[in-house]
Amino acid sequence: MRIDLPAKPSLLPYCRKLLAEGADPAELVHVYRGETLCFHPAPLATFAALTTEEGVERSIRFRKWREMPRQGGVYASETATIAGGGND
């Protein structure tokens, strides 16, 4: 499977959506921006299991994703944040 990233990447939530829609978790994903391969090809489930985290003092990092519990009838943000946080 080839995924072409837009200007603002939303790869990780997109991979979770694909899994929820029944995509094969073992299918290798090749992530490109233009003609540049951005990540080493990995199974869809690997990308779906990640989120990003960014701090004031450090650059963006991958972290294990976990679904947040419902709060007040609305889902909490699925992106982990530290001190003003990051985005998927």
**18: pLDDT strictly greater than 90:** yes
Contact 62, 35 (CB under 8 A): no
Cβ atoms < 10 Å from Cβ of 11: 19
Q: Please list the residues that pair with 51 across neighbouring strands.
A: 63
Q: Band of the pLDDT at 6, cuts 50, 70, 90?
A: confident
pLDDT in tens, 20-51: 999 999 999 999 988 999 889 999 999 999 99
What's this model's pTM, rounded to 2 decimal places? Answer: 0.66
Looking at residue 21, what is its pLDDT? 95
Helix, strand, or coil (residue 18):
helix
Cβ atoms < 10 Å from Cβ of 87: 16
